[in-house]
Amino acid sequence: MTGDLSPIDKAKFVAARRAADLVEDGMRVGLGTGSTAAWLVRCLGEAVRDDGLKIRGVPTSARTAALAREVGIEVISLDEARWLDITIDGADEFDADLNLIKGGGGALLQEKIVATASDRMVVIADAGKEVEALGAFPLPAEVIPFGWQTTRALIEETLVGMDVLGRDITLRMNGDRPFVTDEGNHILDLHLRRIGNPRQLALVLNQLPGVVENGLFLDICDTVVVGHGDGRVELRDLNEGTVEEGRLDFVDSDNLFRDISD
């Protein structure tokens, strides 16, 4: 079945497959949210089923929790785990320093909490997610519903003094209603085009009343696994300063890998 995938999905699959090799027996594993992270959960489920891998997973969203249980991964809460050995998640953008924009799937708050409660954070992504400067992907800001329009106005005012190219802000929608996160909040998408000083922006945004968290993940990611549509995969370790390259062959798989979607 994997042989029928589009090049983008093949890239996501090989990145997830390579990252799954980093998970060892007995680990407490943070499980990300989104289409690439779903491949990872499926790969780990296969290892649990076929190889007897014993892990406990801490999902970053309700839909990841449902998928993990479906493929046979033991699911626990972060409070039960207390600390994690590794978190593996996707990203909407990453730069050369492994700074990220995350939150396209709407789970940025839980994702950031889980990632920072881990000894190691690994990002899995297709090669198209790598950028010279963050900001082409809209930056999500999770805000409480009460007074969200006032919060948006505060963000707009704040952006005037920031090193960004755009300042448009949209409320994320789910059909004709505002999108609601697992915590019951809304998401404002900041269309900035380029972020000149991510650290300053992240700090300022989180000081605004009504903003719960933003999608800039800075100094959190240790490793990125980059997949390509032809099966090539790179593992870049920021701390070690190393790059490992390899290639994965595509083989037919069973229904464990069907219906992967955001």
Whether residue 158 is annotated as binding a ligand: the answer is no
R_g of the chain, CA atoms, integer Å: 18
Q: Please give the CATH superfamily to which domain 139-214 belongs.
A: ACT domain (3.30.70.260)
Question: Is 25 annotated in some ligand binding site?
Answer: no
Distance between CA 55 and CA 225 in Å, rounded?
Answer: 21
Mean pLDDT of the chain: 94
Q: Which of 46, 93, 111, 142 is catalytic?
A: 111
Helix (H), strand (E) at residue 244: strand 242-247
Based on the residue annotation, tell me whether 111 is a catalytic residue of this protein: yes
Query: Is 103 among the annotated ligand-binding positions?
Result: yes
- Helices 198-205 and 148-159: angle between axes, nearest 10 degrees: 150
CA-nearest of 206, 188, 75, 79 to 140 is 188
Q: Where are the domains of the chain?
A: 2-129+219-252, 139-214
What's the pLDDT at 233? 97
The answer to the question of whether 89 is labelled as a binding residue is: yes
Q: On the CB side of 217, how many CA atoms lie within 13 Å of its CA?
A: 29
CATH 3.40.50.1360 is the classification of domain 2-129+219-252: yes
Could you tell me the pTM of the whole model? 0.92
Res 258 pLDDT > 90: no
| Half-sphere exposure (Cβ direction) of 229: Cα atoms closer than 13 Å | 7
The string of pLDDT tens digits covering residues 162-196 is 999 999 999 999 999 999 999 999 999 999 999 99
The C-alpha angle 159, 141, 102, rounded to 5 degrees, equals 115
pLDDT tens figures, 244-256: 999 987 655 444 4
User: Residue 231 pLDDT > 60, yes or no?
Assistant: yes
Could you tell me where the beta strands, DSSP code E, fall in 53-157? 56-59, 74-75, 86-89, 93-94, 100-101, 121-126, 139-143
| Residue 34 marked as a ligand binder | yes
Residue range 101-137, pLDDT digits in tens? 999 999 999 999 999 999 999 999 999 999 999 999 9
Q: Is the pLDDT of residue 260 over 60?
A: no
pLDDT score of 257 more than 70: no
